[in-house]
Every structure is written in structure tokens, then in C-alpha cells.
Amino acid sequence: MEPIEYQRMREAEEQHWWYAGLHDLAIRWIQREATRIHHPLAILDAGCGTGRLCQLMQPFGTVTGCDRHPLAVAATAARGIQRVLQRDLGTDKLGDKEYDLITCMDVLYHRAVTDAAATLQNLHQALKPGGLLLGHVAAFEFLRGDHDVAVHTRRRYRRQELARLLQAAGLKIEFISYRLPLCLVPALLWRCRSRHRPLQRELHSDIAWRNPAGMNRWLTSLIRIENRLLLAGWRMPFGTSLFVSARKRKLPGFLATCLKSGAPTDA
């Protein structure tokens, strides 16, 4: 992102309806996973931005933040996150079967991710067998506008495109859906308008525009209702974003026993 966007993100993350809605969905999904496995999670936030999600995930286990930009690393550390790594998700080793859960929110579409397949392979390697990846990306190229320039969007995904990438990395998709369908038409109109404006000296992401407090609360409440539908298994046919839950396959029982005991295999 442009450096100024890290400051805007840091200021907006705790209250802006868009962040509040996404974080609410992620935390509810993580809470369900923590309940399922009955022990504190080892969590990696891959592309942690300014660290708000890291903060919110701390009650569920040990959280590691990771980002390639020094401004993001510094902002996350300033939130009190003890373990923050400066890494390139596509080329730097993130760990070997180290994490129960990895979040990768609004990262894969970024222009710094020149090879999304390699990045997903890296995340797959860092997950424990049976571990869960939660991902979020921007949807539909026809929604491209000034916001994408400001936050360095490389591409916006359709559901099938993201699904193919995850499956090619060896991940089993448990749930995938568009988000924010009610925002699609307003976003499209706004982005179309931005394309016909004279090029500004400084471009702003959508987060730069502050909503009245009442509208912000109303939108947050609306998205939380949508989140409950997604958690119940509803899939939205369109929207401005894509959310996915995908799991690393467990080793077959015999192979897992051999590797745990250190016994040789015939593989």
C-alpha cells in the first residue's frame, strides 16, 4: 500500500464498519475452530497490516504477526504483539507444520504477491496437517477503481479462480462465498465515477472516507447479520469480496503414525 494508507488503516481498524465486519467474521470462525480442537491455537496472521486482527485473536492462543512492510511490522508490534516477523510470504520460509490456523486477509490480491500459487504453497507448508486457512480477497475486476491504486491491488478474484488456486496448493475448501452483496452496486457506481475523474495528485482508498457515526453503526450491524448467515452455511452469489475457509489435508493414519514415531516408510 501507499505509506499513508498504513496510517489510515491504523486509525480506522477499530471502528470502521468494513474492518469491524471482517474481523467479526474471522473471530467467529476462529472461535469455532478453537472449540473444535480443545486447545490453544498456534496462529499466524500472514500479512498482518497494522495488527488489529492479531490483537483480537490473542484470547485463542499464541499469535504471530507477519508482514513484508516495515511500517506494518512496527504498527503491529506497537499493539503489544510479542512475535512479529518481517517476511515475504512468497519467498521466505514461514515454518514447517507449525500453525494450527493461518489468517491471510486481503493479501493474495496485492501487487507485491507476484506469485499467488507460491504464496499459498508456503502457507500450506506452514500449516499443521488438519490446520485451517482463512482467507479474504477483493472480488471482480469490474470493481477496480482509485481504491485499488491506493492499496496496490494486482488483481481482483472470482470465486472459481480463488478456488482453483487453493486446491492446487493442496488445500481442501470447506467454505467459500462472496461477501457484502448489498455493497456491490454502490461500489460499482462509485468506482465508475472515479474512473472518469481527472487523475488526482494523491489517490485515496475507500477507508479514507469517514462515515457518520450512526451510519457506521448501522452498516456494522448489517454486516454482522450477514456474518451469521455465512457461519450458518449460506453462500452469497456475488459481492465486493470473497471469504474462504480451507483446510490442509491430514496425513493418512498409518503414515502419520510412522512420522510421529520416527519409523521409516516405503514412500
- CATH number for the domain spanning 120: value is 3.40.50.150
Give the per-residue pLDDT at 205.
62
- Which grid coordinates are listed for 145? 477503481
Mean of pLDDT values over 138-153: 85
133 vs 124: CA distance, rounded Å? 8
**Residue 266 placed within a domain:** no
Give the per-residue pLDDT at 195.
63
Which CA distances in Å does 259 have to 88, 176, 254, 265? 29, 32, 9, 8
Give the per-residue pLDDT at 213.
86
pLDDT over 80 (residue 254): no
**Residue 66 placed within a domain:** yes
Backbone angles phi, psi at 227, to 5 degrees: -60, -40
29 vs 39: CA distance, rounded Å? 15
Give the per-residue pLDDT at 5.
72
Mean of pLDDT values over 93-117: 94
pLDDT > 90: what percent of the chain? 70
Residues 6 or more apart whose CB falls under 8 angstroms from that of 68 comprise 86, 87, 88, 89, 112
Q: Give the pairing of strands 127-138 and 171-179.
A: unpaired
Give the per-residue pLDDT at 266.
33
**Residue 194 placed within a domain:** yes
pLDDT over 70 (residue 204): no
pTM listed for this prediction: 0.88
pLDDT over 60 (residue 200): no
Residues 6 or more apart whose CB falls under 8 angstroms from that of 181 comprise 236, 237, 238, 239
Tell me the residue range of the domain where 178 lies.
Answer: 3-260
pLDDT digits (tens, 9 = 90+) for 11-70: 888 889 999 999 999 999 999 999 999 999 999 999 999 999 999 999 999 999 999 999
pLDDT digits (tens, 9 = 90+) for 5-22: 777 788 888 889 999 999
**Residue 193 placed within a domain:** yes
Mean of pLDDT values over 98-111: 95
**Residue 135 placed within a domain:** yes
Number of domains comprising the chain? 1
Residues 6 or more apart whose CB falls under 8 angstroms from that of 214 comprise none
Grade residue 253 by pLDDT with cuts at 50, 70 and 90.
low
**Residue 112 placed within a domain:** yes
pLDDT digits (tens, 9 = 90+) for 229-238: 999 999 999 9
Give the per-residue pLDDT at 106.
93
**Residue 11 placed within a domain:** yes
Please state, as a whole number, how many other Cβ atoms lie within 10 Å of the Cβ of residue 96. Answer: 9
**Residue 267 placed within a domain:** no
